[in-house]
């Protein structure tokens, strides 16, 4: 799953890496989340302020994680590090 944060007036990179990603891992590992990584643009003026890559074992584990009660905690944490627009997309290996 690719999560992009775009726009907004603030984005706390340290919080995202040190708190939010571990929270997502804690909530979703039991459903098959294998890793989570953060990427940030070099250009400080870029519209996209972050890209998160959440790698799941398979599509079923991704959907189980998103349907789990832990997703509420993960999403409730977002305002603590950004007011950017968050969008999710699901990718598959080619």
pLDDT per residue over 49-80, tens digit each? 999 999 999 999 999 999 999 999 999 999 99
Residue 23 to residue 33: CA distance in whole angstroms = 12
Mean pLDDT rounded to a whole number for the chain: 94
Lowest mean pLDDT among 6-15, 32-41, 43-52: 43-52
- Strands 2-6 and 48-56, by their bridges, are antiparallel
CA–CA dist 37, 3 (Å, integer): 10
pLDDT at 58: 94
d(CA 80, CA 92): 30
């Amino acid at each position: 799953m690719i999560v992009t944060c775009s726009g907004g007036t603030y984005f706390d990179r340290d919080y995202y890496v040190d708190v939010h990603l571990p929270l997502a891992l804690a909530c979703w590992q039991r459903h098959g989340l294998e890793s989570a990584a953060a990427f940030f643009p070099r250009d400080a003026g870029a519209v996209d302020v972050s890209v998160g890559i959440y790698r799941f074992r398979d599509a079923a584990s991704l959907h189980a994680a998103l349907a789990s009660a832990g997703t509420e905690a993960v999403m409730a944490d977002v305002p603590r590090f950004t007011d950017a627009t968050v969008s999710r997309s699901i990718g598959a290996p080619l």
